[in-house]
Structure 1
Amino acid sequence: MIIVIEGFDQAGKKTQSKLLSNFLKTRNKKSTIFSFPDYTTPVGKEIKNFLGGKRKFPPQVIHCLLAANRWERSKNIKDALAKNHVVIMNRYYQSNLVYGTVNGLDLKWLENLDRGLPKENIVILLDVKVLDSFSRKKQKRDRFEKDKTFALKITNTYRKLAKRYHWNIVNASQEKTIVHQQIRDIISKHIR
């Protein structure tokens, strides 16, 4: 099973992925967490340079790189699934659909970049208010995260695509224990 935790910057994706992994342990389920972009890979290093402002790419190229980054890890994902692990994705291709659409790219074109990757079973959108995201961030923001107008477009597009693709939406501006409980409620319907 693949569970995707999506959302804008500082929605709590990393925290909720860890909490979910710990919850699955209590249900005797092993899990593996993958985070995207994965900056440890060769393509991931290029993405990090782009987000840090050290490299410039047209939108098509960066979104191809983001997809290539997931393809770099596809064998690891398949291996975890083969071991009957629940795979938790701290972002997956859904974020590429959101950011790519906001960057003016065609949704079908973006979908095709990841066609053939292991398919998710559940997507949970941590829907954070832009003001909460900005107040939570302590360190430097990357080029996608700095602009509040852009941030608003991202959060609105996440909501729009969540409806289109039937993703689960959780209000991530709540206390993290409440968010975790709501995620557990969603997951418990799918795990025996």
Structure 2
Amino acid sequence: MIIVIEGGDQAGKLTQSILLEKALKKRKIKTKLFHFPDYETPIGKEIRKYLDGKRKFPPQVIHCLLAANRWEKLDAILAAEEKNSVLIMNRYYQSNLVYGLANGLKQKWLESLDEGLPKADLVILLDVTQKESFSRTPQNKIGGKKMKRDKFEKNKEFSTKISNLYRTVAKKKHWKIIDATMTKEEIHEEILKIFSKKLGI
């Protein structure tokens, strides 16, 4: 089973992904957590440079790179599926769709980039407004260090567009939507309820 935690910047995806991983392991459910983009891979390093303003790419190129970053991890994902009952994705191909649409790209083309990757069984959107997002301090996914906002995060107008598009796409695609302004404990409980309902437990 693949669970995807989605949302705009500073929605709490990292926090909730880690909390869910711990909760499932505590229940003796074999679980593996993936983060996308994965900045440790060769393509991931290029994406990081782009987000830090050190590289310039047209929208089509960066979205191809973001998709390629997931394809780089395909063998690891398939291997993890063999060994684990649940895979948690802190962002997956859904974010490429939303950000790509915000960048004016066509949905069909964006979806084709990830066609063939293992499909998500459950997508949970942590719904956060642009105002709430900008009130939160950016954190690194490793060690929770404070960071500067990246290329996507700095633009308030773009962030607003992302928030709105996430909601629109989530409703069309029947993703589960959680109000990310709640406390992290409340959000975690909501995620566990959705997970249990999905499994019928």
Instruction: Please tell me the TM-score bracket, short chain as reference.
Output: over 0.9
1:23 aligns with 2:12: no
Instruction: Name the amino acid aligned to 1:10.
Output: Q
Question: For residue 156 of structure 1, what is the aligned residue in structure 2?
Answer: 164
Deviates more, 1:21-30 or 1:164-173: 21-30
C-alpha deviation, 1:131, in angstroms: 1.5
Between the aligned partners of 2:50 and 2:25, the Cα distance in structure 1 is: 37
1:11 aligns with 2:20: no
Structure 1: tracts of 5 or more residues without a match: none
1:94 aligns with 2:102: no
Deviates more, 1:128-137 or 1:178-187: 128-137
Question: For residue 72 of structure 1, what is the aligned residue in structure 2?
Answer: 72
Question: For residue 189 of structure 2, what is the aligned residue in structure 1?
Answer: 181
Off by >2 Å, runs of 4+ in structure 1:
none
The number of residues matched between the two structures is 192
Question: For residue 53 of structure 2, what is the aligned residue in structure 1?
Answer: 53
1:130 aligns with 2:138: no
* Contact 2:32–2:84 (Cα < 8 Å) also in 1: no
C-alpha deviation, 1:162, in angstroms: 0.2
Between the aligned partners of 2:56 and 2:26, the Cα distance in structure 1 is: 45
Between the aligned partners of 1:98 and 1:140, the Cα distance in structure 2 is: 22
TM-score w.r.t. the length of structure 2 is 0.93
Which of 191, 198, 201 is 1:190 aligned to? Answer: 198
Between the aligned partners of 1:87 and 1:15, the Cα distance in structure 2 is: 16
TM-score w.r.t. the length of structure 1 is 0.97
C-alpha deviation, 1:186, in angstroms: 0.2
Task: State the identity as a percent.
Answer: 62
Deviates more, 1:136-145 or 1:16-25: 136-145
Q: Deviations over 1:11-64 (max 9, x none)?
A: 110100011011112321011111000000000001001111100000000000
Structure 2: tracts of 5 or more residues without a match: 139-146
Between the aligned partners of 1:40 and 1:59, the Cα distance in structure 2 is: 22
1:140 aligns with 2:179: no
C-alpha deviation, 1:85, in angstroms: 3.4
Between the aligned partners of 2:111 and 2:57, the Cα distance in structure 1 is: 20
Instruction: Name the amino acid aligned to 2:29.
Output: K
Q: Deviations over 1:128-181 (max 9, x none)?
A: 121221111253100100111110000000000001111000001111101001
